[in-house]
Structure 1
Amino acid sequence: MKILLLGVGMQGKATLQDLANSPEVSQIIAADANFDDLRKYVNQLGNAKITPLKLDVRDRSALSIQMKKVDAVIVLLPQGFRMDILNLAIENGIHFIETSYALPEYAHVGQLAEAKGITILPECGLDPGIDLVLAGQAIRDLDEVHELHAYGTGVPEPAAADNPINYKVSWTFAGVLSAYQRPAKMLKNGKIINLTPSEMFSPENMHKITIDTLGEMEAYYNGDAVKYLDILGITDTTISTGRYSLRWLGHAAFWKKMVDLGFLKEEPILVNGQEISPREFVHDLIEPQIHYAPNERDVAGIRIDVRGLKDGKCKRIIYQMIDRRDLETGLLAMQRTVGYTASIGAQMVLRGDIKQRGLLSPTRDIPVEKFIAELKKRNIKITREEINC
């Protein structure tokens, strides 16, 4: 297996380490615009299979030269680069794997990719990723689905939640703030409900949940849950669904005030004659203060809770994953569960575990037992519980 990795930031470091540890991977071209940090990390790994490369992905000719050397590309870059890279991957006949939500434009090239024998595997990280694989399996475990609730979290362990907001950053803080300004969409008692960012953090739209080994957390709606009903084929029977983020108690109350006061608006305002974006100000002020110390651990988690009928009886299926930072490697749980999953997805495609071509979805196209086994090899464990409801 020969793989091109584009983007070796926080999650990319875990992907690179995992690819380097795989005996099935013979060559890795690790490319990033920040070459000094990349070279330092590659030297730290000390693996001869890795070729570090300074690359501007906007240079199509230079990128195409590297694509011709490999079987697949893993893309861990911002959204603005992804469509051009996908088109170039198809042009060069290599598989495309990423951890972000599929762009609407991907649908237009899915048939072309399938005709050329190419797999497009987006949403192959944690959330989206592991959550979608488990949701798809939970639904297949039942004869008829009535409720689907998906929870995701990335927080400091209680001992490390030692700042005023009880939160530290395990992925891009700019992405966190952007998500806090994103409306939510859910289904409750058969009615579609759209929530503004302020409503998303309102107490009446939240609930608390107790997670094994973690304790009590608060859940608020995050993103569009309704679109997955069609993808999963359960639109006709489902009466309630939601996608939620889990945080320590008090998190939502703080950020509701920030949203209501306009601190997360992107549009600049005049301050002493200078145009300043409130969100950028909040980011630049807070972000340096919420990093993990080397001896502190984060927690990443997924919980899928599905209710419906099985053999005519009401059943509840719960899949759960909780992971913590590996202090030996230094990799955060968020890095492991996102970065390792991207590596697993690419290797499953190239190994032939994933045989489908064209535009795929983790909800149906990733073999669940093999996927869970691969996570377990990396000490990321999934539990399953089935109870009467």
Structure 2
Amino acid sequence: MKKVVVFGAGLVSRPLVHYLLKHGFQVTVATRTPSKAEALVRGFENGRAVACNADDNQALREQVRDADLAVSLLPAPRHPVVARACLDFGKHMVTTSYVSPAMREFDAEAKRKDLLLLNEIGVDPGIDHMSAMEVIRGEEKKGGVLTGFVSWCGGLPAPEANDNLFGYKFSWAPRGVLTAAKNSARYLKNGKIVTIPAAKLFAQPEMVEIPGVGTFEGYPNRDSVSYIQTYGFSKKVKTVFRGTLRNPGHCKLYTNLIRLGLFDDEPKHDLRGLSYRAFMEKLFGQPLWETIPARLKLPANETPLAAMKSIGLLSTNPISMASGSALDVLAERMQESLKFEPGERDMLLMKHIFTFEYPQKKTRAQISALLVDFGIPGGDSSMARTVSLPAAIATRLILEGAFRIRGVVVPVMEEIYRPVLDELATLGIQLTEKKTRL
């Protein structure tokens, strides 16, 4: 029986762990909170829960040594530590996160040691890559030449659960979402590279229609330009854009929270004895309903005051942490206040727009590919399923010897994306396509 160690037992881990257990693998869930791991493997004889602090490199290495493959669902900075252990002990690795520069440096060594370190095998990144490449390669076989690619993705509350001023609820830890909101972005538009500094990331959202669901705000997602090489695009491609979808009003709200410094992770403040309101007053002065509008140079009804109040940032309740940054406090209030209630659904939206030329036919066409997936009330969220099932399927295929490719890899080659997408379709996760002549 092949052995898999899964590092992390967070909000997206259950579908992956259960998929692997049901497919007969010996699965060890290693996390600093054993009770979470025990809940994941309960009822499975081939499941095991162990206490493992991700910051304890030696304990982490021991778990990798005893497995055939390691899945890292840890925070992104810990992935290279897991990868280093995998390389030292000759084990394959799977993670859903973006390839970092530190991870990329392992490519040559992984190839030399006949190992696969598979990254970006979640939803965004992951399903977005695989579904895009499926369409592109399919049209190329029909004589199509790609000239433009736009991709949108967002995890949101289902419409009936969209009931707060943030238009958002967290199906995973807020800190990662907030940190990502501080990234700059680059994309290719009509042959020219456009760079958006972090401070202006939300400044000019585009309105994006998702058929049958509604209209959403979209903003650029990280560095789209790098995917020109990743996807193997030719110079014929003049537009490459990857964006994130949010509910209307999100971009204005986040812009003002950032302007207030509430996304700042430094400095760390002494929070002992402070209420949330007292901490806000420490940052902005008092009274807050005057100082915050003055800071933003906006009327009070256009500031985030109501949203801040709705999550308890203006309450007199004591802050539970002894020290932390503005970002730490904001993330803690969001995690407590913007969560899904039992029975509520989330949804995952993905929309690709491809533009193709067909030189032999002297025609042009646009193809849209759409995924709308909802969470299961009382069961797994859509975010959990779409993030972790691709990784679970890929893990199974690696251990069954289905992939020959080696090195630090993202799933843009057919030997990976074809079988993963095929199995996702059997699990109800599949994009639908529509082709329109231009």
User: TM-score w.r.t. structure 1 length?
Assistant: 0.92
| Residues 1-389 of structure 1 mapped to structure 2, 5 A cutoff | 1-22=2-23, 25-43=24-42, 46-140=43-137, 141-142=139-140, 143-203=144-204, 206-234=205-233, 236-268=235-267, 272=282, 277-310=325-358, 311=360, 312-328=362-378, 330-364=379-413, 366-389=415-438
Q: What secondary structure, in the 3-state scheme, does the structure 1 residue paired with 2:428 have?
A: coil
Q: What secondary structure, in the 3-state scheme, does the structure 1 residue paired with 2:364 have?
A: strand
TM-fit CA distance, 1:60: 4.2
Q: What secondary structure, in the 3-state scheme, does the structure 2 residue paired with 1:90 have?
A: helix
TM-fit CA distance, 1:63: 3.3
Q: What secondary structure, in the 3-state scheme, does the structure 2 residue paired with 1:84 have?
A: helix
TM-fit CA distance, 1:347: 1.0
Instruction: Check the 8 A contact 1:5/1:31 in 2, yes or no.
Output: yes
Structure 1: which amino acid aligns with 2:190?
N
Q: Pick closer, same or farther for the CA change 1:58–1:201 going to 2, 3 Å.
A: closer
Q: Pick closer, same or farther for the CA change 1:187–1:292 going to 2, 3 Å.
A: same
CA distance in 1, matches of 2:62, 2:324: 41
Q: What secondary structure, in the 3-state scheme, does the structure 2 residue paired with 1:65 have?
A: helix
CA distance in 2, matches of 1:153, 1:168: 12
124-133 or 216-225: bigger deviation = 216-225
CA distance in 1, matches of 2:380, 2:353: 28
1:237-293 Cα deviation digits (max 9, x unpaired): 222221111111111121122122322122227665997522222222232111101
TM-fit CA distance, 1:325: 0.7
Instruction: Check the 8 A contact 2:183/2:198 in 1, yes or no.
Output: yes
Instruction: Check the 8 A contact 2:99/2:119 in 1, yes or no.
Output: yes
Q: What secondary structure, in the 3-state scheme, does the structure 1 residue paired with 2:349 have?
A: strand
TM-fit CA distance, 1:33: 0.9
CA distance in 1, matches of 2:165, 2:104: 43
1:197-245 Cα deviation digits (max 9, x unpaired): 3422123xx2212213311112111211111011112251222221111
CA distance in 2, matches of 1:213, 1:15: 29
CA distance in 2, matches of 1:269, 1:67: 34
281-290 or 161-170: bigger deviation = 281-290
CA distance in 2, matches of 1:66, 1:262: 40
Q: Pick closer, same or farther for the CA change 1:264–1:61 going to 2, 3 Å.
A: closer
Instruction: Check the 8 A contact 1:4/1:66 in 2, yes or no.
Output: yes
Q: What secondary structure, in the 3-state scheme, does the structure 1 residue paired with 2:412 have?
A: helix
Instruction: Check the 8 A contact 2:38/2:48 in 1, yes or no.
Output: no
Structure 2: which amino acid aligns with 1:52?
A
CA distance in 1, matches of 2:387, 2:21: 16
Instruction: Check the 8 A contact 1:356/1:365 in 2, yes or no.
Output: no
Structure 2: which amino acid aligns with 1:70?
A
Structure 2: which amino acid aligns with 1:27?
Q
CA distance in 2, matches of 1:201, 1:315: 31
TM-fit CA distance, 1:158: 1.0
User: TM-score w.r.t. structure 2 length?
Assistant: 0.82
Unaligned 5+ runs, structure 1? none
TM-fit CA distance, 1:48: 0.8
Instruction: Check the 8 A contact 1:134/1:363 in 2, yes or no.
Output: no
Q: What secondary structure, in the 3-state scheme, does the structure 2 residue paired with 1:11 have?
A: coil
CA distance in 1, matches of 2:124, 2:415: 15
* Identity fraction in percent: 26
CA RMSD of aligned residues (A): 2.1
Unaligned 5+ runs, structure 2? 270-278, 284-321
CA distance in 1, matches of 2:177, 2:63: 32
CA distance in 2, matches of 1:358, 1:290: 39
